[in-house]
Amino acid sequence: MNRRSARSAPRPPTGLLLQQVLRSVRHVGGDEDAILRRAGIAGLGEKAGRDGWMQLISHDQFVSIYRECVDLLERSDAKCSGRPAMGVSEFHMLCYCMISSATLGQAIDRAAAFGRLFEGGVGEFTLRTVRENAEFRMHSASRPRDAHMIFGVLTGLSSFARLFGWLVGKDLSPLTVKICYGPVLDEHVVSWLLPWRVEYEAEDNLLCFPARYLALPLVRSAAELDELLTTFPFDLATGRSSVTPASVWVGKICATALAHCSAPPNTEQIARQLGLSVATLKRRLSDENTSVRELKERCRCELAYDLLGDRSLTLREISLRLGFSDTTAFSRAFKAWTGRVPSAIRHESGLVGLNRRETR
């Protein structure tokens, strides 16, 4: 059995993720151009892997494209397998069945009961405890060689892991993910979808976590679930909770926004995504000797280094991408972050590229 230790990607690989999921859509005969048009992006189809447009789409466009692709792949697999599909609307109904439960264990039992209504379809969910460990099994009707269906499995496991933690206000830790496929996707993509320890080529798809979480009470309301489901589970920054350091989740949320050319959300919006009060968020970040503002600046600085290495982008384009009104404001901020001016970094990156070419 192959294993991967959990690690966080330095910044969300949204372009690579969309490139790979759109390739799977093409594999099953889906119309990717139609999906892109409905998201407000027209006529890009086969150019997806090489023109870089994916890094410039908005957050809402990413959610729209990813939602429709995963839903299409699930319904395609259901048709081929002769089973009922569990698309977006069915998943939402499952969540509403869980929200009035007293404990996480009861909520998962209700999810399994809802799944049984599908009579052998994708809803084959089971929960069992082995000594001090709990195993949530999400049976895959697809054969492991159907690698194009792995997005449905990974999104499903990611969704349930985040949902369970969100319901009780605590990330499940330690958490191990087991999947029946081999490591067929880019590791950067898998690390963003499943930032936990992953075991490949398992007998089925499972989430393994300490059984003590099953007795925890649910701390969420139906109104909070309404808000969560506006983008969940396709907004990969939502549904996180509290065990992982708050600074890690805040950094991921800010990096996601910047990767989609959007301004990072404000403190109130970030707190709402994490299911925390503003005061609690500020206190946790203070305990970690940081703040929302500092984390936003750190994310901007890291992205600035990446963009400066792309010689096809002008300083003005980089400035706008990072949310600055002009190059002067960007240069001033960059010097405050690093003690150096952007042009010096760009010059060095050019020399590095030249040296690499010369040594080939």
End position of a domain, from candidates 174, 193, 215: 215
Single-letter code of the amino acid located at 216: L
What is the predicted pLDDT for the residue at 270? 82
- Asked if residue 91 belongs to a domain, the reply is yes
- Looking at the fold, whether 201 and 314 belong to one and the same domain comes out as no
Give the residue-averaged pLDDT of 301-318: 87
Domain that holds residue 106: 3-215
Strand partners, 178: 199, 206
- Looking at the fold, whether 134 and 53 belong to one and the same domain comes out as yes
Task: Give residue for tokens 């993720």.
Answer: 17
User: How many domains are contained in the chain?
Assistant: 2
- Asked if residue 157 belongs to a domain, the reply is yes
- Looking at the fold, whether 46 and 139 belong to one and the same domain comes out as yes
End position of a domain, from candidates 196, 215, 234: 215
Task: Tell whether the model's pLDDT for residue 169 goes beyond 80.
Answer: yes
- Measured over the CA atoms of residue 157, residue 162, residue 164 and residue 165, the dihedral's sign is positive
- Asked if residue 222 belongs to a domain, the reply is no
Distance (Å, rounded) from C-alpha 241 to C-alpha 209?
15
- Asked if residue 221 belongs to a domain, the reply is no
Q: Work out whether strand 206-210 and strand 197-199 pair parallel, antiparallel, or are unpaired.
A: unpaired
Backbone angles phi, psi at 138, to 5 degrees: -115, 95
- Asked if residue 233 belongs to a domain, the reply is no
The band of 211, judged by pLDDT with boundaries at 50, 70 and 90, is very high
- Looking at the fold, whether 135 and 14 belong to one and the same domain comes out as yes
The band of 137, judged by pLDDT with boundaries at 50, 70 and 90, is very high
- Measured over the CA atoms of residue 278, residue 282, residue 284 and residue 290, the dihedral's sign is positive
Residues 6+ apart with CB under 8 A from 132: 210, 211, 212
Task: Give residue for tokens 């001033």.
Answer: 332
Task: Give residue for tokens 């999906």.
Answer: 35
What is the number of residues in the chain?
360
CB neighbourhood size of 277 (10 A) = 12
Query: H helices within 138-209, ranges in order?
Result: 150-168, 187-193
Q: Work out whether strand 206-210 and strand 133-138 pair parallel, antiparallel, or are unpaired.
A: antiparallel
Single-letter code of the amino acid located at 10: P
- Looking at the fold, whether 195 and 258 belong to one and the same domain comes out as no
Tens digit of pLDDT for each residue in 20-50? Answer: 888 889 988 999 889 988 988 865 444 444 4
- Looking at the fold, whether 210 and 266 belong to one and the same domain comes out as no
How confident is the prediction for the chain on average, in pLDDT?
Answer: 80
Closest by CA to 114, choosing from 160, 63, 172, is: 160
Backbone angles phi, psi at 206, to 5 degrees: -140, 150
- Looking at the fold, whether 17 and 73 belong to one and the same domain comes out as yes
Tens digit of pLDDT for each residue in 52-91? Answer: 555 567 778 888 998 999 889 888 887 877 777 777 888 8
- Looking at the fold, whether 15 and 77 belong to one and the same domain comes out as yes
Paired tokens of 193: 């979808």
The band of 351, judged by pLDDT with boundaries at 50, 70 and 90, is very low
- Looking at the fold, whether 264 and 201 belong to one and the same domain comes out as no
Distance (Å, rounded) from C-alpha 100 to C-alpha 110?
10
Give the residue-averaged pLDDT of 127-148: 78
What is the predicted pLDDT for the residue at 146? 62
CA distances from 359 to 351, 352, 353 (A): 12, 11, 10
Tens digit of pLDDT for each residue in 287-306? Answer: 889 999 999 999 899 889 88
Helices (H) and strands (E) in the chain, counts: 15, 6
Paired tokens of 130: 């082995």
Distance (Å, rounded) from C-alpha 39 to C-alpha 61?
5
Task: Tell whether the model's pLDDT for residue 187 goes beyond 80.
Answer: no
Strand partners, 269: none
User: With 0-12 CB in 10 A as exposed, 13-18 as middle and 19+ as buried, what is 282?
Assistant: middle
Tens digit of pLDDT for each residue in 114-125? Answer: 888 766 544 578
Termini Cα distance of the chain? 37
User: Mean pLDDT lowest for which of 232-246, 261-275, 319-333?
Assistant: 232-246
Q: What is the largest CA-CA distance in the chain?
A: 65
- Looking at the fold, whether 181 and 51 belong to one and the same domain comes out as yes
End position of a domain, from candidates 168, 193, 215: 215
- Asked if residue 223 belongs to a domain, the reply is no
- Looking at the fold, whether 268 and 178 belong to one and the same domain comes out as no
Give the residue-averaged pLDDT of 295-321: 88
Domain holding 333: CATH number? 1.10.10.60
Closest by CA to 141, choosing from 175, 180, 95, is: 180
- Asked if residue 357 belongs to a domain, the reply is no
Task: Tell whether the model's pLDDT for residue 260 goes beyond 60.
Answer: yes
- Asked if residue 340 belongs to a domain, the reply is yes
- Looking at the fold, whether 206 and 252 belong to one and the same domain comes out as no
